[in-house]
């Protein structure tokens, strides 16, 4: 019973800070388990995806563990859940059609380090959305 309860606790609660604030996605915490195109710190910064929200959405639907939670206008929010432990990462996208890019933010809900998983995920979406 205890191992089951431990696994159920890996999802964590959905952050209340998700969404668009002041016209952009949120920044990352100090922990190295987040990347964002709104970040200025090199350790957390990642380039936006060149393309459309539609191409990003199509790429996400092909990925393991992905679930689109909400989509409204130029904003899309998805959760990615690991198969083994059930860890959840919150991934947000904000299209800027005038610039032809989609801004991104991908962050782990729990833990300190993600071993580069969030950065790798965004790069995989970038490659698939071309």
pLDDT tens-digit series, residues 16-68: 889 999 999 998 999 999 999 999 999 999 999 999 999 999 999 999 999 99
Does the pTM exceed 0.85?
yes
CATH, domain 2-128, list 3.30.70, 3.40.50, 1.10.287, 3.30.310: 3.30.310
pLDDT tens-digit series, residues 61-112: 999 999 999 999 999 999 999 888 889 999 999 999 999 999 999 999 998 9
Taking alpha carbons only, the member of 90, 96, 97 closest to residue 121 is 90
What are the domain boundaries of the chain?
2-128
């Amino acid at each position: 019973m205890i191992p089951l309860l431990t696994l159920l606790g890996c999802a964590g609660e959905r952050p209340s800070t998700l969404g668009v604030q002041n016209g952009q996605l949120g920044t990352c915490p100090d922990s190295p388990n987040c990347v964002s195109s709104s970040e200025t710190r090199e350790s957390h910064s990642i380039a936006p995806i060149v393309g459309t929200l539609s191409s990003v959405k199509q790429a996400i639907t092909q990925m393991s563990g992905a679930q689109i939670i909400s989509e409204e206008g130029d904003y899309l929010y998805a959760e990615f859940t690991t198969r083994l432990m059930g860890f959840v990462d919150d991934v947000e996208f904000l299209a800027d059609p005038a610039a032809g890019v989609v801004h991104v933010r991908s962050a782990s809900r729990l833990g300190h380090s993600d071993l580069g998983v969030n950065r790798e995920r965004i790069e995989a979406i970038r490659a698939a959305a071309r």
